Amino acid sequence: MAKSMKLAGLKSVENAHDESVWTATWVPATGSRPPLLLTGSLDETVKVWRPDELDLVRTNTGHCLGVVSVAAHPSGVIAASAALDSFVRVFDVDTNATIATLESPPSEVWQMQFDPKGSTLAVAGGGSASIKLWDTATWRLVATLSIPRPEGSKPSDKSGSKKFVLSVAWSPDGRRLACGSMDGTISVFDVARAKFLHHLEGHYMPVRSLVFSPEHDSRKLYSASDDGHVHIHDVEGKAIIGAMSGHTGWVLSVDVSPDGEAIATGSSDKTVRLWDFKMRAAIQVMSNHTDQVWAVAFRPGGRGGRLASVSDDKSISLYHCS
């Protein structure tokens, strides 16, 4: 059996933000600097941190009502942040110059992700029951992938609002997009044809985080739900190929290590858990946070694995993974 990954605490920053930290992502390295960590908080700021000491590089302001999501372009040059005010701000990571401000009322914005090639930004559109696709060259809205209403429902049917889209994930080959909703369903789209394919069922509570396994032709999708479970889906076969339980609260965030072997989750039960795909079981539980863990993120790229977690307790933790 292959050796399992292990986490070891490297550095924690207490009071990294003035309020709950709600989101985090890694900005890939560029020619001139190493990868950076990006965090967003209820305190309406986005902060940029340099590992491993987690030195604060910059504090970006400009959002209102709490930052719910951050995403980094694969080039590492630009990044996007989104807040409860439903604006998406696209900015230059190194200069903080605003590149674009996106909105598509009345659609809210939740999780965002750049496609692997970096040509499109997908934004979970909340109550609009759709994913908004923005072209990263022109910053124009190029497509809206809508979840079809269930048959027989009237347009006035309020249950339609249950397909409230919270989370979004690109497949590694950029051909598929998956989005998770408040009612627990996951919808899969064919990006090229802008076509809805099918639902993945199994959760009946909000799916707040989704991530594809990183193998290039991966069909493996991990979903984290308020029902306390992480499901592993075969996106094409519409089947659940595994379920992992153990968190005692909502699973708020899930990420897969760059080698695809380990899965990290953050939960409202205050813990970060590390799971082994092969065993379908938790192999480590980190309990250094004192409140809900809203995001976990593996640093992309090969050398020296790192995992970051952020929490309602206002802190950021960085772990070494080996």
Partner 1 sequence: MACVYIPVQNSEEEVRVALDQLPRDASDILDILKAEQAPLDLWLIIAREYFKQGKVEQFRQILEEGSSPEIDEYYADVRYERIAILNALGAYYSYLGKIETRQREKEEHFILATQYYNKASRIDMHEPSTWVGKGQLLLAKGEVEQAFSAFKIVLEGDRDNVPALLGQACVEFNRGRYADSLELYKRALQVYPNCPGAVRLGIGLCRYKLGQFQKARQAFQRVLELDSENVEALVALAIMDLQANDAAGIQKGMDKMRRAFEIYPYCAMALNYLANHFFFTGQHFLVEQLTETALAVTNHGPTKSHSFYNLARSYHSKGDFEKAGYYYMASIKEINKPQEFVFPYYGLGQVKLKSGDFRTALSNFEKVLEALGHIYVQLGQVDKAQEFMRKATKIDPRDAQAFLDLAELLISSDTGAALDAFKTARNLLEKGGQAVPVEVLNNIGVLHFEREELELALESFNKALGDGVWLALTGNKPKPYVIEASASILDYKDMQVFHRLEEDGLAVELPWNKVTVVFNLARLHEQLHNTGIANILYRLILFKYPDYIDAYLRLAAIAKARNNLQLSIELVNEALKVNDKCPNALSMLGDLELKNDDWVKAKETLRSASDATDGKDSYAVLSLGNWNYFAAIRNEKRNPKLEATHLEKAKELYTRVLVQHTDNLYAANGAAVVLAEKGQFDVSKDIFTQVQEGASGSVFVQMPDVWINLAHIFFAQGNFALAVKMYQNCLRKFYYNTDSQILLYLARTHYEAEQWQECKKTLLRAIHLAPSNYTLRFDAGVAMQKFSTSTLQKEKRTADEVRSTVAELENAVRIFSQLSAASNLHLHGFDEKKINTHVEYCKHLLEAAKVHREAAEREEQQNRQKQEAARQLALAEEARRKAEEQRKYLLERRKQEDEQKRLQQAEEHFKREQWKSSNPGSRRRDRSEIDDEEGGHSEKRRRKGGKRRKKDKNKSRYERDDEEPDMMDDREEMEDEDANRNYGESTTRMNDQDDDNGENAQDLLAAAGLEDSDMEDETAAAPSSAAGRRRRAWSESDDDEPVQRRPESSPVRGNSAELQESDGEIREDNRKPNGGNALDDDED
**How many other C-beta atoms are found inside a 10 Å radius of the C-beta of residue 274?**
22
Question: What span, in angstroms and rounded, lies between the C-alpha atoms of 222 and 203?
Answer: 12
DSSP H or E segment with residue 143: strand 141-146
Using the contact rule CB under 8 A, the part of the chain among 24-32, 209-217, 258-266, 279-287 near partner 1 is 279-287
Question: By CB under 8 A, is residue 152 in contact with partner 1?
Answer: no
Question: What span, in angstroms and rounded, lies between the C-alpha atoms of 101 and 63?
Answer: 11
Identify the three-state secondary structure at position 160: helix
CB 222 within 8 A of CB 213: yes
Site residues for partner 1, 302-321, by CB under 8 A, read 312
Question: By CB under 8 A, is residue 281 in contact with partner 1?
Answer: yes
The token duo for 119 is 């040509």
Using the contact rule CB under 8 A, the part of the chain among 89-97, 103-111, 187-195, 257-265 near partner 1 is 103-111
Question: By CB under 8 A, is residue 94 in contact with partner 1?
Answer: no
Rounded to the nearest whole angstrom, what is the least distance from the CB of residue 291 to partner 1 in the complex? 6
Distances (CA, A) of 111 to 115, 167, 188, 197, 296: 13, 5, 16, 21, 14
Rounded to the nearest whole angstrom, what is the least distance from the CB of residue 192 to partner 1 in the complex? 27
Q: Which of 174, 249, 258, 301 binds partner 1 (CB under 8 A)?
A: 249
Question: By CB under 8 A, is residue 86 in contact with partner 1?
Answer: yes
DSSP letter for each residue of 284-307: EEE---SS-EEEEEEPPSSSSEEE
Question: By CB under 8 A, is residue 204 in contact with partner 1?
Answer: yes
Question: By CB under 8 A, is residue 180 in contact with partner 1?
Answer: no
Residues 52-71 as x/- pattern, contact with partner 1 by CB under 8 A: ------------xxx-x---
Q: Which of 242, 258, 260, 301 binds partner 1 (CB under 8 A)?
A: 242
Tell me the CB-side half-sphere exposure of residue 30, using CA atoms within 13 A: 14
Question: By CB under 8 A, is residue 292 in contact with partner 1?
Answer: yes
Rounded to the nearest whole angstrom, what is the least distance from the CB of residue 46 to partner 1 in the complex? 16
Q: Which of 205, 219, 260, 320 binds partner 1 (CB under 8 A)?
A: 205
38-53 burial: b if 16+ Cβ within 10 Å, else e: bbbbbbbbbbbbebee
Residues 6+ apart with CB under 8 A from 250: 205, 206, 208, 225, 226, 227, 228, 267, 268, 269, 292
Question: By CB under 8 A, is residue 260 in contact with partner 1?
Answer: no
Q: Which residues are at the interface with partner 1 (CB under 8 A)?
A: 1, 19-20, 22, 42, 64-66, 68, 84-86, 105-106, 108, 110, 126-128, 155-162, 164, 166, 182, 184, 202-205, 226-229, 239-250, 268-270, 276, 278-281, 291-292, 312
